[in-house]
Chain A
């Protein structure tokens, strides 16, 4: 009982003589005040929660949106056949391309008469890693050799930060990455109108790069890695989870053994995900000899993690189907199995799917187990070319890629990490919205 009532004087009825309905008794005041206070606590709690949410969203968007654009320099460049042959004959071909390109552009700029002092070293510091892009372009388009081609090439990350105002001249310490004098050339390039901002498709479609090439890094390959992992999780955990819960809920006898299983399933749902990673390393890689860093192994580990979630939500939705449906089906002569598969399961399906999608979304954002099975590092470096290679070739996953980027020393990668978070959140939101729509459209209430 509440304190308010115990405050009543003994033996005196609450609606005693002088109490009026129009004036508040002290007790009434106290109770109303308690209610008002409770409402206030609620409002404060929600405000604090919302404030955190807004703070998070704003900081994610503010830090992450620059990752979707890049600063580019528009230049025209002609590669002669001799230069192509010479570059291809070298061991470090990409560096040879860079050298030819930088010398060519330096000469172009000098002809153009940018009125500042600079040399080839300056241009090399200002531009990002261009060698790889140039080589793959000319290898794919050999007919362009000898022709002038307009290139839109990304600049070095520090130039981008300078143009965004995040790096000021007085912060620049002359080093091998940037010298203060280089910024004069950037200013001159801005005046000449050849430097600008462009949408960075490569960020969405690209692969991971080495630490010295933040401009070329993209999250695309790890999105594919996440996709294949989710495919494995869905194909394994949905049938196993649903079959297990149907058996436990509808067919299994209720005894100590099934109680034990039930308790264990609930406990498994609370096991830290890193434990599943250790298990995956021991069982799938060291014992079953599955390949390291493969999305298949990642998927198997996440399946183990997702199964309890799916079993629990499936059992809940099976339970919520009223017994009268089962009884009616049995009453008209259906077998137990027919009553479950023809009547109970279809009615429970929306709940099962919602639970599955939420389980998948949880698995999609999981990094810890992937650390142990080799999916963190420089892993998402190329696209798979078939279903088997998608499952078996080393690849990363979105959260693992974000983690990898956040640990790199160049600040541009930090920005990429925030951009990756935006993409991951978009996927998670989409999955959750699908779950909500499914529930709204198909769920029946009794």
Chain B
């Protein structure tokens, strides 16, 4: 019977597949913010070296680090991209799975910008407290902590336009969310006095910090779990909407988006590199040291990624929107000497 032959062939194929395979390409996964930069480096790496181009998957910082910590071996990834630093809890998970030697590589900085439709209302000047007042479930009104009554931006800051509050913020699985919470919401919480009011109301410091980070759930703050393209589509459809983007994404879409300043500073590579623009964060990737020397091209890829020619101020990553790290030389040394964390 012909399908018996087919079955036999398939069995043979399946067997050859399982017996042994040596992976000859670097496997990377993680943050969708780092993905564009990683794909640029991966393509250039394939073009410039005789190694095959690395595979770069997205999925978010947490998902990438989770896969990174699954263990050591060819069927696990070599590098995790992350838009935040690895957490202690993740290091513990890693260690319990045998991933003990991790090299942390900081590739540069990324700015988080607030942008709205070009022909929408002019959100030109934000303070972290404005974002907090707009998006927190409990805010300070006339010295008392009350449920957020604001529906218009002008309700709490007369300088802001008379427009409905509608914000599209990164979902909780994004590394961007953490930076947004820490640099904008938490800062706003303290600046408006809500944090002190919570403490005065009998909350412990930890509880107050957690309560500060909450966002309202009445539909005025929308979590976006997808990519920035999804946020852009929402902004396109909502004249009053304001969205959170990475600087590089905004710069790629200046014909559709206009950017808001934060504390009076316009986000540019210069203001971020100088550290004046308040909402920026470092981007990282993490290398499994046990894979160096086993996976061909891993060391070369890492060296190449952070070389001056690639990650420096005049390299292709900076051209795409990465704010290059002034301390790149230190990172290069870390990678060259395979200096693991701790």
Contact = CB atoms under 8 A, between A and B. Distances in A.
Interface of A: 90-95, 131-132, 135-136, 167, 171-173, 175-177, 209-213, 232, 235-236, 238-240, 242-243, 285-286, 288-293, 296, 341, 371, 374, 376-379, 381-382, 388, 391-394, 406-411, 414
Interface residues on B, range: 35 or more
Interface of B: 1, 3-4, 6-7, 9-10, 13, 16-18, 21, 23, 25, 27, 29, 32, 35-36, 38-44, 46-48, 52-53, 55-59, 70, 73-75, 77, 226-229, 248-249, 251-255, 304, 307, 309-310, 315-316, 319-321
B39 A211 contact: yes
B6 A238 contact: yes
A291 B21 CA distance: 8
A378 B39 CA distance: 6
B295 to A, nearest CB: 12
B309 A394 contact: no
B47 A135 contact: yes
Contacts of A176: 251, 319, 321
Contacts of A243: 3
Contacts of B319: 176, 212
B248 A239 contact: no
Nearest to A396: B55
B55 A378 contact: yes
B48 A94 contact: yes
Contacts of A91: 48, 304, 307, 309
Contacts of B316: 95, 212
23 contacts: A91-B304, A92-B307, A92-B309, A92-B310, A93-B47, A211-B35, A232-B13, A235-B9, A239-B10, A240-B7, A243-B3, A292-B27, A296-B13, A341-B1, A371-B59, A374-B29, A377-B35, A377-B56, A377-B57, A378-B35, A391-B13, A410-B252, A411-B252
Residue in B39, B40, B41 with the greatest tally of chain A CB atoms within 10 Å = B39
A300 B37 CA distance: 32
Given A91-B48, A210-B44, A211-B35, 12 more contacts: A91-B304, A93-B47, A235-B10, A238-B3, A291-B23, A292-B77, A293-B57, A377-B35, A379-B56, A409-B36, A409-B252, A414-B229
Given A285-B75, A289-B75, A211 B36 contact: yes
B40 A290 contact: no
A167 B252 CA distance: 13
A301 to B, nearest CB: 14
Nearest to B53: A381
Contacts of A90: 309
A371 B58 CA distance: 9
A93 B307 CA distance: 13
A288 B20 CA distance: 11
Contacts of A209: 39, 43
Contact of A391 (B17, B249, B254, B310): B17
Contacts of A236: 10
Nearest to B228: A409
Nearest to A209: B43
B255 A378 contact: no
Contact of B255 (A173, A379, A388, A393): A173
Contacts of A175: 251, 254
Nearest to A281: B67
Nearest to A91: B309
A201 B67 CA distance: 37
A392 B74 CA distance: 13
Nearest to A371: B59
Given A92-B44, A341-B1, A381 B252 contact: no
A392 B36 contact: no
A381 B57 CA distance: 12
A409 B35 contact: no
Given A176-B251, A290-B18, A382-B46, A394 B307 contact: no
- Counting chain B CB atoms within 10 Å of each CB, the highest count among A95, A172, A236, A391 belongs to A95
Given A291-B75, A382-B46, A377 B29 contact: yes
Contacts of A173: 254-255
A92 B9 CA distance: 45
A293 B36 CA distance: 19
B229 A408 contact: yes
Contacts of A131: 47
A93 B57 contact: no
A410 B227 CA distance: 13
Contacts of A408: 36, 229
A407 B57 contact: no
Best-surrounded residue of A91, A92, A382 (most CB of chain B within 10 A): A92
B3 A381 contact: no
B55 A394 contact: yes
Contacts of B255: 167, 171-173
